[in-house]
């Protein structure tokens, strides 16, 4: 069937009863260029996606489920916009091989859909080569099941890559005696600290330290509505980006 310019994008939301999925259902329903054709919760058969004729899947489930969901979508030529965490290097490599056999299908894995968060991580990565020290603090609601956050992992990876390219030495740290966990965890050589606190939604600070100065890049999502423009942007752009894109910045013009 030929898609007309005015035809709505047919979207299925997975994890529709969750905190993010419920917001995404509302956002898709309110988008003039989209039609929600399926809303799946835990235990629902993925066959509902194909039966509903979905062209796009938005996955906002849990780390244990997301890989199978996305593989199902790709195997059926359905584009996928994924916010769920848990996409480590092995999973991403497996997905890339699968996508090689489905060259017209696009997948976006977006650790964070909030435009401000994406910008803050990009700015932090760019700035980080000019500072001797860098550490990340991520702060989230206490119902979050994974730590550190996917956003913090991605930010650390971006920072580490910039610092490596610029041949910046590791952040100095004289610690020789430590109570386990006191210095957080390390991702690609970058220290990441996780706070879980009732009242929070999703927040992150990147601390950059030099002699006699500090630059702090902080982003706050006060409401899950902050993620929805990015989800819709993902759905609108994923078909034009076949293959795997990691990070919503892949669809933005950041100019650097
Ligand atoms: N990329 C981004 O901007 C954001 C990503 N997230 C991530 O999105 C994921 C979901 O977050 P929340 O909504 O806060 O979690 P949640 O726990 O409120 O929702 C997850 C939902 O998925 C359901 N589910 C589990 N397996 C499923 C399956 N196979 N099919 C359909 N539904 C299934 C669960 O029953 C639950 O209702 C997490 O990994 C979180 O880190 C959260 C906020 C923003
Ligand atoms: O679980 C959450 O809430 C969030 N998860 C994502 C992450 O792990 O980075 C995105 C955002 O931080 C909210």
Q: Is 66 in the pocket of ligand 2 (CB under 6 A)?
A: no
Mutation test of ligand 1: which of 12, 17, 20 has the most ligand atoms closer than 8 Å to its C-beta? 20
Q: Residue 6 — very low, low, confident or very high, per pLDDT cuts 50/70/90?
A: confident
211 CA from centroid of ligand 1 (Å): 42
The answer to whether residues 34 and 57 belong to one domain is yes
Chain mean pLDDT for the chain: 97
135 CA from centroid of ligand 2 (Å): 18
The answer to whether residues 126 and 199 belong to one domain is yes
Number of domains in the chain: 2
Residue 4: pLDDT above 60? no
Span 105-124, mean pLDDT?
98
The answer to whether residues 38 and 97 belong to one domain is yes
DSSP string, 44-96: --THHHHHTT-SEEEE-S-HHHHHHHHHHHHHTT-EEEE--S---HHHHHHHH
**The pLDDT value given to residue 181:** 95
Distances (CA, A) of 184 to 41, 64, 89, 126, 147: 34, 24, 21, 23, 11
The answer to whether residues 105 and 124 belong to one domain is no
The answer to whether residues 123 and 208 belong to one domain is yes
The answer to whether residues 18 and 101 belong to one domain is yes
Examine residue 3 and state whether it is found in any structural domain, yes or no: no
The answer to whether residues 92 and 134 belong to one domain is no
Residue 1: pLDDT above 90? no
Q: What CATH number should be reported for the domain holding residue 61? A: 3.40.50.720
Task: Quick: pLDDT tens for 164-193.
Answer: 999 999 999 999 999 999 999 999 999 999
% the chain with pLDDT above 70: 98
Q: Among 79, 140, 203, 219, which one carries the catalytic annotation?
A: 140
Calculate helix-pair angle for 150-165, 115-128, nearest 10 degrees. 30
**β-sheet with 79-82: strand ranges across:** 34-40, 9-14, 56-59, 79-82, 106-109, 243-246
Q: Domain limits at 62?
A: 9-109+225-251
pTM across the whole model: 0.96
Helix (H, G, I), strand (E, B) or coil at 216: strand
The answer to whether residues 46 and 14 belong to one domain is yes
Examine residue 256 and state whether it is found in any structural domain, yes or no: no
Examine residue 147 and state whether it is found in any structural domain, yes or no: yes
Q: What CATH number should be reported for the domain holding residue 124? A: 3.30.360.10
Examine residue 145 and state whether it is found in any structural domain, yes or no: yes
Q: Buried (b) or exposed (e) across 208-231, using 16+ Cβ within 10 A?
A: bbeeeeebebebbbeebebbbebb
Examine residue 2 and state whether it is found in any structural domain, yes or no: no
157 CA from centroid of ligand 1 (Å): 23
The answer to whether residues 150 and 199 belong to one domain is yes
Active site residue 144: yes
The answer to whether residues 21 and 50 belong to one domain is yes
The answer to whether residues 177 and 241 belong to one domain is no
Residue 3: pLDDT above 80? no
Residue 256: pLDDT above 90? no
Mutation test of ligand 1: which of 26, 46, 62, 68 has the most ligand atoms closer than 8 Å to its C-beta? 62
The answer to whether residues 119 and 217 belong to one domain is yes
């Amino acid at each position: 069937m030929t898609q007309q310019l005015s035809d709505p994008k047919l979207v299925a939301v997975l994890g529709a009863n969750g905190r993010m999925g419920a917001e995404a259902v509302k956002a898709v329903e309110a988008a003039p260029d989209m039609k929600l054709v399926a809303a799946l919760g835990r235990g629902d058969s993925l066959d509902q996606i194909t039966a509903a004729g979905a062209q796009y899947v938005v996955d906002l489930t849990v780390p244990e489920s997301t890989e199978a969901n996305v593989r199902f979508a790709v195997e059926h030529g359905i584009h996928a916009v994924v916010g769920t965490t848990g996409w480590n290097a092995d999973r991403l490599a497996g997905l890339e091989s699968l996508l090689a056999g489905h060259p017209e299908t696009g997948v976006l894995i977006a650790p964070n859909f909030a435009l401000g968060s994406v910008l803050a991580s990009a700015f932090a990565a760019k700035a980080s080569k000019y500072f001797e020290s860098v550490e990340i603090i991520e702060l989230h609601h206490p119902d979050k099941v994974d730590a550190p956050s996917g956003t913090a992992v991605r930010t650390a990876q971006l920072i580490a890559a910039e610092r490596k390219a610029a041949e910046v030495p590791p952040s100095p740290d004289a610690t020789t005696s430590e109570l386990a966990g006191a210095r957080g965890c390390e991702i690609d050589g970058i220290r990441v600290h996780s706070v879980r606190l009732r009242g929070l939604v999703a927040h992150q600070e990147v601390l950059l330290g030099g002699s006699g100065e500090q630059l702090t890049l902080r982003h706050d999502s006060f409401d899950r509505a902050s993620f929805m423009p990015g989800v819709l942007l993902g759905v609108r752009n994923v078909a034009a980006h076949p293959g795997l894109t990691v990070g919503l910045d892949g669809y933005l013009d950041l100019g650097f």
